[in-house]
A and B are shown apart, each in its own frame.
Chain A
Amino acid sequence: MVKRESAPKDSVTPGNPGVERVRSEAPSELLRELVAHLRQNRTQLREEWVVRISETRLLTAMTKEEIFAEATSVYDSYVEALETEAFEALQAYARNLSERIIPRGVETHEVVGIVLLLRDVLARSLFAKYQTDFKKLNRILDAYEPAANRIANTVAVGFVQERERVIRQQQEAIRELSTPVLQVRERLLILPIIGVIDPQRARQLTEQLLRGIRTNRAKVVVIDITGVAAMDVTVANHLVQTVEASRLLGATVIVTGLSPEIAQTLVTIGVDLGKMNTVGDLQGGIEQAERLLGYKVVTLAESR
């Protein structure tokens, strides 16, 4: 650091007013100076940045106009963050920006890349401006670098957080979609389960089913697991609990479509099969449910 190196050499003497003035410059003054410079040269620096972005082939998913529009708002937010040091506002801006560009297919490395490019473009312009005063340049960089690093970090983290939020939201939607609770008759619900059930999905399934029983006032539920290849002991226990909890709400559960593997798992964990009502296939399950509810299905010919 230039400051420390030169401190013992420069002494505050009445005959050396120039040195005194330079040493009394506060970091905030330097920041203000640098922010002013970045604002004055906004058009040119932003243009330089956009050129670099296309040179490094970033943001290929966006059009030139879109890049220009986003570049303008990023540039202004960048400079404002340098000025105000309000990093929370920047993080909110970054998440907002991410919300716009993630659906456009922009990736994390692109966002980090363009922010670092902007940092470089601005740094170079500082080198150019203060090239005649090496000590001043160093002081300016002392003020600029930590803030610039923090900005790059904040934007990257904001972007990643937004991506994670979107992923979580999509996962939730997929989970909801994949366990529909369907009413097929008065008081009769069907829950067809397809795919892999992990403990989290099993839990969600149970909650959805119990709510469905209450909403639809179901007396019988047919849970069909034809589409489930395998089930570990934890999930098998969840299934048993689902049956028991449904009973507490006054509903009978019929489980259909058990594969040989799942039947084996249930026997292995010692499920009391007296407690679990099972039928071979979905058709059989629905027929039994209808009998339990007092329905009888006849063909039109029979009913004449």
Chain B
Amino acid sequence: MEVPILKQGEVLIATFQAALSDADLEHLRRGLVHQVVKLRSRGVIVDVTAMDVMDSFASRTLREIAHMIRLRGAETVIVGIQPEVAFAMVQLGLTLEGVATALDLEEGLAYLTEKFKNTD
């Protein structure tokens, strides 16, 4: 399943669909990093609003995406984690440590805009 990646200025927005297989996640990871390089983006927003469950593989992949993108000098924000999903995640010890998070797309963009200002 292709995850659509949209460009909004210097920011890329990847919107997760509900059920992503491990292969989809792998594919996305490579695709995102590739796009960041090609388009010289400064920020990436991964919107997981549609995900109703987050397992350890997905969580690890998100952290790896953020890590790899940071190595390219860009910042990642995960947005749209649902309350129930957040609760389940912390109970499993999946805290997405080291990765920025925001409530939704609007907040994610505000966060990145602020970040860009500080690093200009």
Binding site for B on A (CB under 8 A): 206-207, 210-211, 213-214, 217, 219, 241, 244-251
- Bound form: Cα–Cα A213–B82 in Å: 11
Q: Is the CB of B103 within 8 A of A207?
A: no
Enumerate chain B interface residues (CB-CB to A < 8 A).
Answer: 78-79, 81-83, 86-87, 89-91, 95-96, 101-104, 107, 111
How many A-B residue pairs have C-beta atoms within 8 angstroms? Tell me: 51
A249 partner, pick from B91, B95, B101, B111, beta carbons under 8 A: B101
**CB within 8 A of A250: which of B90, B91, B107?**
B107
Is A251 touching B103 in the complex (CB atoms < 8 A)? yes
Tell me which residues across on chain B come within 8 A of A241, comparing CB atoms.
87, 90-91
When the two chains form their complex, are residues A245 and B103 in contact, meaning their CB atoms are under 8 A apart? no
A241-B87, A250-B107 known; 4 new pairs, CB 8 Å cut-off, are A245-B86, A245-B89, A250-B79, A250-B102
CB nearest to A218 among chain B residues: B103
| Shortest beta-carbon distance from A4 to chain B in Å | 63
Output the least CB separation between B115 and chain A (Å): 14
Per the bound structure, the CA–CA distance linking A9 and B83 in Å amounts to 78
Pair A206/B87 contact, Cβ less than 8 Å? yes
Contact A248 B107 (CB under 8 A): no
In the assembled complex, the Cα of A210 lies from the Cα of B83 at a distance in Å of: 5
User: In the complex, which residues of chain B have a beta carbon less than 8 angstroms from the beta carbon of A211?
Assistant: 83
9 closest Cβ pairs, A-B complex: A210-B83, A250-B102, A250-B103, A248-B86, A245-B86, A241-B90, A244-B90, A245-B90, A248-B81
Q: A213-B103, A214-B103, A217-B107 are in contact. Are A249 and B86 (CB under 8 A)?
A: yes
B95 touches A213 (CB 8 A): no
Is A207 within 8 A of B86, CB to CB? no
Q: In the complex the two chains form, is B95's CB within 8 Å of A248's CB? A: yes
16 contacts between A and B (CB under 8 A): A207-B87, A210-B83, A211-B83, A217-B104, A217-B107, A244-B90, A245-B87, A245-B90, A247-B95, A248-B78, A248-B86, A248-B90, A250-B103, A250-B104, A250-B107, A250-B111
Measured CB to CB, the closest approach of chain B to A282, in angstroms, equals 24
B86 touches A210 (CB 8 A): yes
Nearest opposing residue in chain A for B83, CB measure? A210
Q: Which residues of B contact A248 (CB under 8 A)?
A: 78, 81, 86, 89-90, 95-96, 101
CA–CA, A210 and B87, complex, Å:
8
